[in-house]
Amino acid sequence: MRLTTTLSALSALTLMTGIFAQPYAARAEATREENRWIRQEDQAEDSILAISDKIVEALELDIPATMMELDNGLRLVVNEDHSQPLVAVSIWYHVGSKNEPPGKTGFAHLFEHLMFNGSENFNDDFFKATRKIGATDLNGTTSNDRTNYFETVPKNALDSILWLESDRMGHLLEAIDQAKLDEQRAVVKNEMRQGENEPYGKAFDLTFTAGVPYGHPYQHPVIGSVEDLDAATLEDVKAWFRDYYGPSNAVIVLSGDITPEDARQRVEKYFGNIPAGKPVAAIKQWPVKMNASIREVIEDEVSHPRLFEVWNAPAYTDEDVAYLKVLARILGEGKNSRLYKRLVVEDALATDVSAFVYARELGSQFQIDVTVKTDADRDRVEEIVDEELTLLNTFGPTDEELAYVRSSELSTLARYLDDLWFKADLLNESVTFYGHPDGWQQEVSAFKSADSGDIKRVGQTWLTGPNYTLWALPFGDHSVSGKEADRSAMPMPEGMVTARFPEIERATLENGLELVVAHRDGAPIVDFTMLFETGPEASWKQTLPGTGQAAVKLLANGTDNMSREEINQTLGLLGANLETDGSDSQSQISLSAMKSGVAESLAVYADVIMHPSFPPDEIARIRALALDELAQVKDDPFDAVNRLTPAAVLGHANPYGRLATEASIEGTDRSAIEQFHDTWYRPNNAKLIVTGDTNLSEVQPLVEEAFRTWSNQPVPDIIVPEEANPAKAMVYLVDRPGAVQSMIRATVTAPAFSEKDEEARIIFNSVIGGDFVSRVNMKLREEKGWSYGAWSGFGGPEGGRLFSTTAPVQSDKTADAMSEMAAILQGVISDQPVADNEVKEAREQEILSLPGLWSSNQGISNYIAYRLQNDLPDDFYDDYAEKLAGVATSAVNKAAQAMLGDKPLTWIVIGDRAKIEDDIEALELGDLHIIDADGNPVQ
């Protein structure tokens, strides 16, 4: 379960075309002139702006929906989408933290947790049922205004999930007991600790409650207080259910392979017999304008200062909220936004900026966040934020900025509308807050129609008065219808829904570029993913660690033909997204393009891959950002343990065990980056995966044209080091003074990929920690209440593959949790082998989840990449379900022995040394070493 403080899902880069290095008065005049000539300029028919307009015009942004209401007040919305044999189920209860009276804060979120602990007719963990029916994308979230529950299931499991959901809506009270309340109260407390332990966690709580007076429904954080949670009684939580969880206060949305008539019949069957519940008194709006500005400074365990500026804004359904979102995109969202250009690129005072609207039912917030360099002038940062906001409020945005936002936001929405879960969630949001399924179109209309006057008006109305300013600074060293449905047993899915993996088409271009295409019906989107294997080679020690990551990051920061700004601007106007990711051994460059703009988008994509210019000023900027990012990685326990794991297990003498450090980042120069690119970025070393609304005959000519000048050349042989097993068990402790949680990880080297054994290893991981009901999560979260969540998984490339089990736990249970984790990992290869029922349930979960995993371009692309990287045949996934179904318990236990038998564990613990060291040492799990954030010994 998770708390949600997320905003509208519509988010993308915004365009800026201003002049930022001049004094305020000169820049204001320049802005007036710029707006004047830009608005007067005639655009040619074949210009990017014209193409951008055509792309927006061609977008069909619609979710056909049928809404109906049962006699007991439950509202049902159905969206027919027969593209996959799946149905997304979304249930929203119109109750959130705003409904909590004083002394009972955190109840909405606590009750969300209790909803997963079993109902009267299925009195067990909800996830144990859903994993049997192939549910994916399942969770629950709590916000200020609502609590929601969602899952996507194969269509033959719809009865199963409706039975489960209706059982916890109508038959929950008798299943809630003191033991469950105590268990989930402990889990929520650990969630609190995890949030507090995250960088800027305390600051976020302050900003989301800032600016409202005492007694306002938004005056306390969604998660509540420890004191109120401790005071909660069994009768309190049962009263919460009786007050707010009736059908008349809920909306259910079904999106997928179902008709409205069928949906009505099924929902009536399972929900129609549930009494309506109590009427809920609801405050519809309570916006607040601040009477005076508030300034606050806090110190926290963070690496960089961060500025938060917050203004109160109108209620969720007010049209001004949508216009404020447009303003936020232009001001501070993305690398082409005004604040990013000014603060990160030009003045180099910050490492990141963002601006967004936190839309809420009673009253929203407009927020600007700036992560500031440690040595920057903080007063100057505030001045620049005020200058840029004042300029935008006074002169408005340019036509290009508006076109950029319109194209990028609406094309992003088009991508999201290809996802069943997103559509179900958006429809539920619309019905809950607007009262009808088309409410979301208000924001779409605003993005389409917004002009400069609209943006100036909302800026002057809402962002010129008093506000809340917070600096988070580093702490430093110091009615019933029909009959009751049969509830004696949950109806199980009949038969098996067949997961359909698309047919693969292949071609190899004359220059050696391997093209792999998978057609998928859906949104008019075509996604491209280019993969490179980039080492290690025999001379890997001559290349500083982090060189590959620097090279791939810099690709889109300037080419021989386009500047970084021109690249971002062109892609944004085309409604395309380009992302780069990689390490020293692998690189991935992804493009998501609108079908109508594929050729133009591919031209930019190819230019970025073939002709990066690696401008010295961009290298310096990226280097500075990389140093700041490294400091932030060290500051975040999860990122820190991920960074340290390969080095701790494999050692620095292994090419996969090297760490990028401040020294290596500083030492990586332009010549090394150019050499890396020239060595590895060759068509004969590349694989281009294409998924979406296209086919080989259609896309191959476009790819050939885009990459026609790309020449091949020999690339070095990649070496695969032998499996490096540590000689003995080790425990590495990283001191984090004051930490309220410890991050624990136990790792072993994993066998290299094997087509014969891999499915058994997948099932093994699912049993240990790859699923909610896995052994480690059920033990540490559900049984002990020490952690918000524990998990396991594979990581690392060939020759450095690792299997890790990870758990963030409360500090005072660090040693106890390590003991339990060790017992689980030892037990599975000794007296507690994987059981037949565990294998059966894990197999079913993996098989039934395949349709959901293969229901998006990205999901299909990921699986093709997995196949390519492991040299699997094109038809590998044709019988993948049968392969999983054939995994025997003996094979899983054999995999467990291969994974863990006779292998010492390497432990990494990040926490408060003063509180945990003695207890860890007493466990004798291995030689204890105190290391710093770079893995160096500490005296």
Average pLDDT per 10 consecutive residues for the chain, totaling 939 residues: 31 24 40 41 56 83 96 97 94 95 91 93 92 90 95 95 97 93 89 76 85 86 90 92 95 97 97 94 79 91 92 95 97 94 95 95 95 95 97 95 92 92 97 96 93 97 94 79 80 77 94 96 93 89 92 96 94 94 93 95 98 96 93 94 94 88 95 96 98 97 97 91 82 96 96 89 96 95 94 78 96 98 97 96 89 88 90 88 94 96 95 97 97 92
Cα 208 versus chain centre, distance: 20
> What local confidence, expressed as pLDDT, does residue 619 receive?
95
| Domains contained in the chain, number | 3
User: 780: helix, coil or strand?
Assistant: helix
Same domain, 658 and 735: no
Same domain, 758 and 672: no
Dihedral over Cα of 865, 871, 877, 880: its sign: negative
Same domain, 450 and 597: no
**322 occurs within a structural domain:** yes
CB 634 within 8 A of CB 302: no
Same domain, 540 and 463: no
**7 occurs within a structural domain:** no
Q: How far apart are alpha carbons 157 and 153 in whole angstroms? A: 6
Show which of 638, 673, 706 is a domain's final residue.
706
**65 occurs within a structural domain:** no
Same domain, 821 and 788: yes
Q: For 813, how many CA atoms within 13 A lie in the half-sphere containing its CB?
A: 19
The residue type of 844 is: E
> What local confidence, expressed as pLDDT, does residue 196 receive?
64
Domain that holds residue 32: 16-60+285-413+436-474
CATH number, domain of 358, equals 3.30.830.10
Residues 712-729: tens digit of each pLDDT:
999 999 887 776 678 899
**355 occurs within a structural domain:** yes
CB 497 within 8 A of CB 851: yes
**528 occurs within a structural domain:** yes
Same domain, 667 and 738: no
**78 occurs within a structural domain:** no
Same domain, 608 and 521: yes
Same domain, 540 and 592: yes
Same domain, 533 and 599: yes
CB 95 within 8 A of CB 146: yes
> What local confidence, expressed as pLDDT, does residue 799 receive?
57
> What local confidence, expressed as pLDDT, does residue 1 receive?
43
**86 occurs within a structural domain:** no
Same domain, 791 and 665: no
**267 occurs within a structural domain:** no
Strands 927-931 and 730-735 come out as: parallel
Phi, psi dihedral angles at 445 (to 5 degrees) = -60, -40
Show which of 653, 674, 706 is a domain's final residue.
706
Q: Which of 122, 154, 123 is nearest to 138 (CA)?
A: 154
Same domain, 305 and 373: yes
Q: How far apart are alpha carbons 299 and 478 in whole angstroms? A: 11
Same domain, 566 and 610: yes
Would you mind telling me the total number of residues written for the chain in this entry? 939
Q: How far apart are alpha carbons 581 and 548 in whole angstroms? A: 10
Residues 322-378: tens digit of each pLDDT:
999 999 999 999 888 999 999 999 999 999 999 999 999 999 999 999 999 999 999
Q: Which of 644, 518, 665 is nearest to 909 (CA)?
A: 644
pTM: 0.76
